[in-house]
C-alpha cells in the first residue's frame, strides 16, 4: 500500500488525534498500521511479527492513558514500532535502524514518549517499578505500564521485580502471551469465562457485589472473604493465576489481545483500580500478515542475513560433532535460530536445551553438565553473554570446568546499535583466569577450534561475528612458520616491513584496506591476524616472531573496547617479554575508546568508532614520520579521502 492510501493514519499527528478518533474507525486504523508496518519494515529490516501482534494493544494504550504523562515501557523494545508511529515518529519511520535514524528499540532522548531505553530482555518491570515508586514518594498521579512478552517473562529479572512489587502502586504489568502457553487452561469453558471476565458488566457486577456484602451486618465481611477465596480457587484451577495473586498483585485476564474492545475495557478497569495490576493478554504474532502468521519465527526479524553465516556454520559443524560424540550438547537462551542451532535441536532434541531468556542460568546449568562429564556448548550473543559474567567467573572458571562458549555477534552491530554491540566480550573474558579465548576469522579456523574443543579440559570461548565466510581473508593469509592457528601473516617483505598492522576478527578487512593504501605509497606493510587472544603470551610470542628487526611502526587494530581489551593486554605482554625487540618500534593501539559507538549519519560504523581503514592509515603515517626515513625521496603521506 502506498503511503497516500493511509486515510486514517495520515490524520494522526499526536495523542489528541488518537483519542479523538471515533470508535468505529479503530479497526480501520489497526489495519492501516499493519499495512504501514509491512510496507516499511520489509524495506528497513527489523522486528515485524511481534509488532503486528500488538497493534490493538498499543492503540488502546494511547487512547486509555495520558501519554507521555503516563509512561509505557515495552520490554526488549522490539515491539514498540506502533508506539513510535502513533507518537511523533511516523514521518521518520523510513529511517528505522539507519545511521542517525529511529532506533529499533525504545531510546531515551529520541522522544519524550520513550520513558526508558531498552534492547535487552526482562528489564521493563524493574524500570517501571522504579518509576512507580518514585511517583509514590513524590505524590504524583502518573501511571506506569510495562509490556512484556512471554519470552521476556522467562527471564529471572522479571520475577525479582514482581517479588518486590507492593500492591498499592499505579503500576500495570501487561503480559502479552503470543507464542508459548503460560497458563495451564485450554478449552471452551476457560475461553467463555475469560470473555465474561473482560466485560464491563462483569466488573460492574463485582463492584456492586462487594458494596452490597460489605454493608450486610455481622456476616457481610465473612461472606465477602469467603467469596474471594472461592473466586481465587476457581481462577487458579482455570488459569493458574495464583502466582501473581500470591505476590499480592491483582490479576485480570486472560483476554484476546487482538480484540480491541476487550483490551480497552481491561485497561480501563486496571486504571480505575489505582493499584498494582497484572493484565494477561493473548495475541497472534504476525497478526494480519499471512506469511508472518504462518511462520512467525521467520518474520520475527527481517533483513538479518542469517543464511550462510558463522552461526549457521557452527550449528552444522556441531551436528557432525554430536554424531560422533554422544556427550556433545548445546545450550541457548531463547535464540535457537539466531545462533544457528535449529538443525541441532531437530536432530538431537534430548541434547538441546533452550533455557529461555536466562543467560545466568544457562551458564551455571552448563557448568553442571560439564561437572557431570558432558561436553556443553553454550551459544549466546556477545551482548547478552554480559549478563552471565559472574556465572562464568565463579561457576565455570574458578572450578576449571570445560564449558565451551560460542560468543556470537562479537562485533559492532550497525543496525541494532549500542545495545547490541559485541565489543566488550574480549575485555571481560580476557580478565578471567583459566579461560582461553579464540577469534577465528574463517569457517576453516572455526572448525579447527571446534575440533580442538572436544578434547579441552578447561573453559574456552570462541568469538565470531555475524557475517559470511570471506574468501579474501582465507586467500590472503598464510600461517608463517607454524602449523597452529595463532597468527596468520600477510607480508610483502617480512624482513623489511616498515608498517605492521595487528588485528583479530572481522575488522581485518579494514586492516587489509589500510595495508593496500600504504603499499601504494611505497611503504612495505605486513598484516598479522591473531586467532588466539588468550593465553596472552601465545599471541605476544607469535607477534614477536613476525616483527622485523629494523625500525617499524606498529598499529594494533581492535573492534572492541580499549580499556582492558585484547589489544591492551597483548601489547602489555609483548612489552614484558620482548622489550629489546620493541626498542626501535613505534606502537599505537586503535580501539573503541571509552564510548558506545553510536553511529551517525553519513558515517560507516568503523568511522564512527574511529577504527576505520583511514584511521589506521593516518595513525600509521604519524608513527612513520617519527622513524628514520629509509629513502628520503619517498616520504609517506596521508590519504585524506574517506
Is residue 482 domain-shared with residue 620, that is, in the same domain? yes
Q: Flag whether pLDDT at 505 surpasses 70.
A: yes
Q: Which helix (H) or strand (E) covers residue 592, if one does?
A: strand 585-592
Beta carbons of 487 and 528 less than 8 angstroms apart: yes
Residue 444: name the closest of 492, 502, 485, 493 by CA: 485
- Please, how many CA atoms are within 13 Å of residue 376, restricted to the half-sphere of its CB? 25
Beta carbons of 48 and 42 less than 8 angstroms apart: yes
- Residue 128 domain flag: yes
pLDDT value of residue 418: 80
Beta bridge partners of 381: 408
**Cα gap 59→260, rounded to integer Å:** 8
DSSP-derived secondary structure letter, 387? G
Core vs surface per residue 582-613: b (16+ CB within 10 A) or e: beebbbbbbbbeeeebebeeeebbbbbbbbbb
Is residue 138 domain-shared with residue 264, that is, in the same domain? yes
Is residue 111 domain-shared with residue 256, that is, in the same domain? yes
Q: Flag whether pLDDT at 194 surpasses 60.
A: no
Burial of 78 from C-beta contacts in 10 A (0-12 / 13-18 / 19+): buried
Banded pLDDT at 206 (limits 50, 70, 90): low
Residue at grid coordinates 576505520 = 612
pLDDT value of residue 641: 45
Banded pLDDT at 362 (limits 50, 70, 90): very high
Cα angle for residues 629, 520, 606 (degrees, 5° grid): 100
* pLDDT: which is higher, 350 or 216: 350
Of 463, 498, 517, the position where a domain reaches its end is 463
Select, from the ranges 210-224, 273-287, 449-463, the one with the highest average predicted confidence (pLDDT).
Answer: 449-463
> For the ranges 190-199, 341-350, 477-486, 543-552, which has the lowest average pLDDT?
190-199
Is residue 273 domain-shared with residue 328, that is, in the same domain? no
pLDDT value of residue 215: 61
pLDDT value of residue 231: 58
pLDDT value of residue 419: 80
pLDDT value of residue 632: 42
- Residue 420 domain flag: yes
Mean pLDDT of 244-265: 90
**Cα gap 60→512, rounded to integer Å:** 53
Cα angle for residues 312, 463, 409 (degrees, 5° grid): 60
pLDDT value of residue 580: 93
Q: Flag whether pLDDT at 250 surpasses 70.
A: yes
**Cα gap 250→242, rounded to integer Å:** 10
Q: Flag whether pLDDT at 40 surpasses 50.
A: yes
Q: Flag whether pLDDT at 1 surpasses 50.
A: no
Domain range enclosing 592: 477-624
Beta carbons of 441 and 473 less than 8 angstroms apart: yes
The CATH number of the domain holding residue 429 is 3.40.50.970
**Does residue 277 sit in helix, strand or coil?**
strand
Q: Flag whether pLDDT at 198 surpasses 60.
A: no
- Average pLDDT score over the chain: 86
**Cα gap 585→623, rounded to integer Å:** 9
Mean pLDDT of 338-358: 95
Annotated active-site residue in 359, 510, 531, 558: 359
pLDDT value of residue 196: 46
**Cα gap 639→614, rounded to integer Å:** 7
Q: Flag whether pLDDT at 487 surpasses 80.
A: no
Q: Flag whether pLDDT at 481 surpasses 70.
A: no
Banded pLDDT at 639 (limits 50, 70, 90): low
**Cα gap 534→551, rounded to integer Å:** 27
Is position 519 annotated as part of the catalytic site? no
Residue 67: name the closest of 267, 336, 262 by CA: 267
pLDDT in tens, 208-241: 555 555 666 666 566 656 666 665 555 555 555 5
pLDDT value of residue 598: 73
pLDDT value of residue 143: 96
DSSP-derived secondary structure letter, 403? P
Is residue 530 domain-shared with residue 611, that is, in the same domain? yes
Is residue 436 domain-shared with residue 542, that is, in the same domain? no
Q: Positive or negative CA dihedral for 38, 40, 46, 51?
A: negative
* pLDDT: which is higher, 228 or 142: 142
Residue 443: name the closest of 451, 434, 455 by CA: 451
Banded pLDDT at 188 (limits 50, 70, 90): very low
Annotated active-site residue in 285, 351, 562, 599: 285
**Cα gap 534→428, rounded to integer Å:** 12
Mean pLDDT of 524-537: 93
DSSP-derived secondary structure letter, 65? S
Q: Which three cell numbers stand for residue 270?
A: 486496571
Is residue 156 domain-shared with residue 15, that is, in the same domain? yes
- Residue 498 domain flag: yes
Q: Flag whether pLDDT at 629 surpasses 90.
A: no
Beta carbons of 343 and 312 less than 8 angstroms apart: no
Banded pLDDT at 184 (limits 50, 70, 90): very low
- Residue 221 domain flag: no
Q: Flag whether pLDDT at 416 surpasses 80.
A: no
Give me the phi and psi of 305, to 5 degrees please: 65, 45
Q: Which three cell numbers stand for residue 591?
A: 580501539
- Residue 73 domain flag: yes
Give me the phi and psi of 428, to 5 degrees please: -80, -25
Is position 285 annotated as part of the catalytic site? yes
- Residue 198 domain flag: no
Q: Flag whether pLDDT at 127 surpasses 70.
A: yes
**Cα gap 54→283, rounded to integer Å:** 7
Of 431, 463, 495, the position where a domain reaches its end is 463
Is residue 40 domain-shared with residue 126, that is, in the same domain? yes
Of 463, 494, 523, the position where a domain reaches its end is 463
pLDDT value of residue 3: 46
- Residue 201 domain flag: no
**Cα gap 156→104, rounded to integer Å:** 24
Is residue 579 domain-shared with residue 431, that is, in the same domain? no
Sheet of 487-491: strand order equals 487-491, 525-530, 499-504, 552-561, 585-592
pLDDT value of residue 56: 95
Residue 420: name the closest of 349, 338, 355, 298 by CA: 338
pLDDT value of residue 213: 54
pLDDT value of residue 566: 93
**Does residue 99 sit in helix, strand or coil?**
coil
Q: Flag whether pLDDT at 190 surpasses 50.
A: no
Is residue 404 domain-shared with residue 506, that is, in the same domain? no
Q: Which helix (H) or strand (E) covers residue 620, if one does?
A: helix 613-624
The CATH number of the domain holding residue 510 is 3.40.50.920
Is residue 440 domain-shared with residue 517, that is, in the same domain? no
Q: Which helix (H) or strand (E) covers residue 251, if one does?
A: strand 250-256
Q: What is the β-pairing status of strands 525-530 and 487-491? A: antiparallel
Q: Flag whether pLDDT at 345 surpasses 70.
A: yes
Annotated active-site residue in 84, 97, 387, 404: 387
- Residue 487 domain flag: yes
Banded pLDDT at 156 (limits 50, 70, 90): confident
pLDDT value of residue 149: 87
**Cα gap 568→502, rounded to integer Å:** 12
* Total count of domains within the chain: 3
**Cα gap 512→493, rounded to integer Å:** 15
Is residue 19 domain-shared with residue 144, that is, in the same domain? yes
Beta carbons of 487 and 506 less than 8 angstroms apart: no
Helix, strand and coil content of the chain, in percent to the nearest 5, comes to 45, 15, 40
Amino acid at each position: 500500500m502506498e503511503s497516500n492510501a493511509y486515510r486514517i493514519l495520515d490524520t494522526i499527528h499526536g495523542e489528541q488525534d488518537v483519542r479523538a478518533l471515533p470508535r468505529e474507525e479503530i479497526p480501520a486504523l489497526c489495519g492501516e498500521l499493519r499495512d504501514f508496518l509491512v510496507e516499511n519494515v520489509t524495506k528497513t529490516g527489523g522486528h515485524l511479527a511481534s509488532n503486528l501482534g500488538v497493534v490493538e494493544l498499543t492503540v488502546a494504550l494511547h487512547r486509555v492513558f495520558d501519554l507521555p504523562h503516563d509512561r509505557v515501557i515495552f520490554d526488549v523494545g522490539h515491539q514498540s514500532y506502533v508506539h513510535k508511529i502513533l507518537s511523533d515518529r511516523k514521518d521518520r519511520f523510513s529511517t528505522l535502524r539507519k545511521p542517525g535514524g529511529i532506533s529499533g528499540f525504545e531510546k531515551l532522548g529520541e522522544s519524550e514518549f520513550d520513558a526508558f531505553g531498552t534492547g535487552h530482555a526482562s528489564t521493563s518491570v524493574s524500570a517501571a517499578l522504579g518509576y512507580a515508586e518514585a511517583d509514590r514518594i513524590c505524590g504524583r498521579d502518573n501511571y506506569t505500564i510495562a509490556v512484556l512478552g512471554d519470552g521476556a517473562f522467562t527471564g529471572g529479572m522479571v520475577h525479582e521485580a514482581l517479588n518486590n512489587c507492593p500492591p498499592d502502586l499505579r503500576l500495570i504489568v501487561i503480559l502479552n502471551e503470543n507464542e508459548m502457553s503460560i497458563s495451564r487452561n485450554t478449552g471452551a469453558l476457560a475461553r467463555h469465562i475469560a470473555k465474561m471476565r473482560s466485560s464491563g458488566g462483569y466488573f460492574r457486577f463485582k463492584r456492586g457485589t462487594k458494596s452490597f456484602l460489605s454493608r450486610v451486618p455481622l456476616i457481610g465481611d465473612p461472606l465477602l472473604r469467603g467469596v474471594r477465596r472461592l473466586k481465587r480457587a476457581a481462577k487458579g484451577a482455570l488459569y493458574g493465576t495464583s502466582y501473581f495473586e500470591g505476590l499480592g498483585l491483582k490479576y485480570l485476564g486472560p483476554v484476546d489481545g487482538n480484540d480491541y474492545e476487550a483490551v480497552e475495557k481491561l485497561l480501563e478497569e486496571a486504571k480505575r483500580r489505582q493499584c498494582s495490576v497484572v493484565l494477561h493478554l493473548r495475541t497472534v504474532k504476525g497478526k494480519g500478515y499471512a506469511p508472518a502468521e504462518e511462520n512467525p519465527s521467520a518474520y520475527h526479524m527481517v533483513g538479518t542475513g542469517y543464511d550462510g553465516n558463522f552461526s549457521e556454520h557452527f550449528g552444522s559443524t556441531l551436528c557432525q560433532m554430536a554424531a560422533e560424540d554422544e556427550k556433545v550438547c548445546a545450550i541457548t537462551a531463547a535464540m535457537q535460530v539466531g545462533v544457528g542451532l535449529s538443525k541441532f535441536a531437530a536432530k538431537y532434541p534430548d541434547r538441546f536445551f533452550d533455557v529461555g531468556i536466562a543467560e545466568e542460568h544457562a551458564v551455571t546449568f552448563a557448568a553442571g553438565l560439564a561437572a557431570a562429564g558432558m561436553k556443553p556448548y553454550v551459544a549466546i550473543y556477545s551482548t547478552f553473554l554480559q549478563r552471565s559474567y559472574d556465572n562464568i567467573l565463579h561457576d565455570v572458571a574458578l572450578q576449571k570446568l570445560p564449558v565451551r562458549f560460542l560468543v556470537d555477534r562479537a562485533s559492532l552491530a550497525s543496525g541494532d546499535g549500542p545495545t547490541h554491540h559485541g565489543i566488550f566480550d574480549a575485555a571481560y573474558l580476557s580478565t578471567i583466569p583459566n579461560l582461553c579465548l579464540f577469534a577465528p576469522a574463517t569457517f576453516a579456523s572455526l572448525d579447527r577450534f571446534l575440533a580442538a574443543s572436544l578434547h579441552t579440559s578447561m573453559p574456552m570461548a570462541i568469538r565470531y561475528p555475524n557475517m559470511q565466510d570471506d574468501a579474501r581473508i582465507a586467500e590472503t593469509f598464510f600461517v608463517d612458520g607454524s602449523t597452529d592457528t595463532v597468527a596468520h601473516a600477510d607480508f610483502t617483505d617480512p624482513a623489511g616491513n616498515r608498517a605492521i598492522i595487528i588485528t583479530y576478527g572481522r575488522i581485518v578487512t579494514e586492516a587489509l584496506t589500510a595495508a593496500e593504501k600504504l603499499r601504494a605509497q611505497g611503504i612495505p606493510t605486513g598484516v598479522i591476524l591473531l586467532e588466539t587472544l588468550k593465553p596472552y603470551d601465545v599471541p605476544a610470542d607469535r607477534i614477536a616472531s613476525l616483527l622485523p628487526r629494523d625500525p617499524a611502526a606498529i598499529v594494533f587494530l581492535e573492534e572492541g573496547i580499549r580499556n582492558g581489551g585484547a589489544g591492551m593486554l597483548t601489547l602489555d605482554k609483548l612489552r614484558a617479554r620482548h622489550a629489546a625487540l620493541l626498542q626501535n618500534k613505534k606502537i599505537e593501539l586503535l580501539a573503541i575508546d571509552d564510548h558506545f559507538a553510536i553511529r551517525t549519519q553519513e558515517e560507516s560504523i568503523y568511522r564512527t568508532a574511529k577504527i576505520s581503514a583511514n584511521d589506521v592509515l593516518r595513525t600509521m603515517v604519524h608513527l612513520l614520520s617519527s622513524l628514520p626515513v629509509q629513502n628520503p625521496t619517498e616520504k609517506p603521506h596521508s590519504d585524506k579521502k574517506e
